[in-house]
Structure 1
Amino acid sequence: MNRTDRLYAIVEELRAVAPRPRSARWLAERFEVSSRTIERDLSALQQAGVPIWAEPGRTGGYCLDRSHTLAPLGFTVDEALAVMIALGTLSTSPFRDAATSALRKVVAVTDERSMRETARLADRIHLLGDATTQKAPRELAAALRTGQVLRIAYTDREGSATQRDVEPLGFVGKGDAWYLIAWCRLRDGLRAFRGDRIVRVTPLDERPPRRTLRAEDLGIVEGELRAVGAGAAVDAKSP
């Protein structure tokens, strides 16, 4: 059994006996691995947001909160593969940590047969990126949610360095490059800041009223701008 299959199986084992605990030793014997391996697996699941906690004592062990877990998802192999590919495209974005965590959760609640077939197919799919593209700072991921003004150290394409206070409004992804769309107080206007040119990010305490951002305000002259918001999901639910 590979690790992906084992993580799913551990969750299902704990779900089946919840709220009773299972010890690391019992799980190690069940999955024919060492107790240390089980401890690492449980830690990975906890970091991914699976509600597992330890109960101390001679009869203690690890428990799963059934009321706060998802039932196994009814993903087809193609659906699970599409989710895996989509999350993989975020590897250079500010959301890469959340994407990795989301993928772990999908793995944990997808049925074993589908996940095994999905993993086999995913090994045949590769994303071709630009080797020169660097990752956007992780600190940008929370920018839209918190609404805080950001103080950024930015280097433009000519190599000129500036420090700017900006009001985050959105993101645009193009290939491996991600751009922070923000109101720049230095330039008193809307600007796009390429993520891999943002050297440093410092959130400030100020949370100004959120400005309106329309697609036409971005002034895109090449390519097609596609939204990834809830509208697509609403459309998909429509008959």
Structure 2
Amino acid sequence: MNRTDRLYALVEELRAAAPRPRSARLLARRFEVSVRTIERDLAALQQSGVPIHAEPGRSGGYVLDRGQTLPPLAITPAEATALAVGLQTLAGTPFAADARSALHKVLAVMPQRERTAAAELTGRVRLLVPATRPAPPAGPVVPAALREALTAGRVLRLEYADAAGRVTVRDVEPLGFLGGAGHWYLAGWCRLRRAPRGFRLDRVRSATALDERVPRRDFDLGAIGTLGSDVVPLDAATVM
């Protein structure tokens, strides 16, 4: 690694660790250089305006202040390639389109040289899958209101169709997404049934975020078990 690459990598290492300090000795081992070289690099970064300061003491070290203005993230060609490969594992999930959008944003801010190198490296990667493996299903369309309500912690009003096609209107306190090789579900507390339920995303006819905040409940995703490739909520509760 040349010095310019090491300086970028040092910033990213400290950024990832913040607010915890990193000692010069640990950084020297990480980048396989001497402690003196790391100290010179850190001094150069400080002089260029990167908000790095030293914390004294046995557990001290160098800390990067993420609250101040920092240069943009430096994405290496290998990191961009890893994102592109990882994107393939999201096929058939509710997040495939978002992952593609995120990758495009990453590529858009990369310098041309690194972007070209990433494209070349990605072109040399092939994923091996069994010849009989079926193509991944298209991911369920997740209404924007559903995702936003989950992020903001707001109650959802769903129009939801059961297995027989009957549509009911339910106020649901969203908890998270569950899924895998089979179907994907919105897990949450159903006020109509007064119990935790899993709502298949492909049966959600509409979703509206309400102004009401989700109250705190003693219910978490870790309490949900699996049955085959489907997900079932909490003990006797039934997936609708």
TM-score by length of 1: 0.54
Q: What per-residue deviation string (whole Å, max 9, x for no partner) do you get for residues 194-216 of structure 1?
A: 11110100111100323343345
Aligned pair in 2 of structure 1 residues 168, 215: CA closer, same or farther (>3 Å)? closer
Deviation (angstroms), 1:175: 2.5
SS at match of 1:117: helix
SS at match of 1:142: helix
Q: Distance in 2 between matches of 1:128 and 1:122?
A: 19
Which residue does the alignment assign to 1:146?
152
Q: Distance in 1 between matches of 2:213 and 2:166?
A: 28
Q: Percent identity?
A: 39
Deviation (angstroms), 1:134: 4.1
Confirm or deny: 8 A CA contact 1:92 1:135 kept in the other structure. no
Which residue does the alignment assign to 1:129?
136
1:74 matched to 2:76? The reply is yes
Q: Distance in 2 between matches of 1:176 and 1:222?
A: 9
Deviation (angstroms), 1:152: 0.4
Which residue does the alignment assign to 1:117?
120
Which residue does the alignment assign to 2:33?
none
Deviation (angstroms), 1:101: 2.7
Which residue does the alignment assign to 1:187?
193
Q: Give the partner amino acid of 1:198.
A: V
Q: Distance in 1 between matches of 2:97 and 2:137?
A: 20
**Matched length:** 156
> Which among 151, 156, 162 is matched to residue 162 of structure 2?
156
Which residue does the alignment assign to 1:102?
102
Deviation (angstroms), 1:125: 7.3
Q: Distance in 2 between matches of 1:101 and 1:212?
A: 35
Which residue does the alignment assign to 2:184?
178
Q: Distance in 1 between matches of 2:230 and 2:171?
A: 29
Which residue does the alignment assign to 1:203?
209
Q: Give the partner amino acid of 2:135.
A: L
Deviation (angstroms), 1:151: 0.4
Structure with more strand by fraction: 2
Q: Distance in 1 between matches of 2:230 and 2:192?
A: 29
SS at match of 2:213: coil
Larger RCO: 1 or 2 (CA < 8 Å, sep 6+): 1
Aligned-pair Cα RMSD in Å = 3.2
Q: Give the partner amino acid of 2:115.
A: E
Structure 1 gaps of 5+ residues are: 1-66, 226-239
Q: What per-residue deviation string (whole Å, max 9, x for no partner) do you get for residues 128-171 of structure 1?
A: 2236x642323322232111100001112222211100000011
Structure with more helix by fraction: 1
Q: Give the partner amino acid of 1:120.
A: G
Q: Distance in 2 between matches of 1:96 and 1:85?
A: 12
Q: Distance in 1 between matches of 2:81 and 2:76?
A: 13
Q: Distance in 1 between matches of 2:117 and 2:190?
A: 47
SS at match of 2:177: strand
Structure 2 gaps of 5+ residues are: 1-68, 232-240
Q: Give the partner amino acid of 1:107.
A: L
Confirm or deny: 8 A CA contact 2:146 2:208 kept in the other structure. no
Q: What per-residue deviation string (whole Å, max 9, x for no partner) do you get for residues 69-112 of structure 1?
A: 62431352xx4333224334446544455323311122134512
Q: Distance in 1 between matches of 2:70 and 2:104?
A: 16
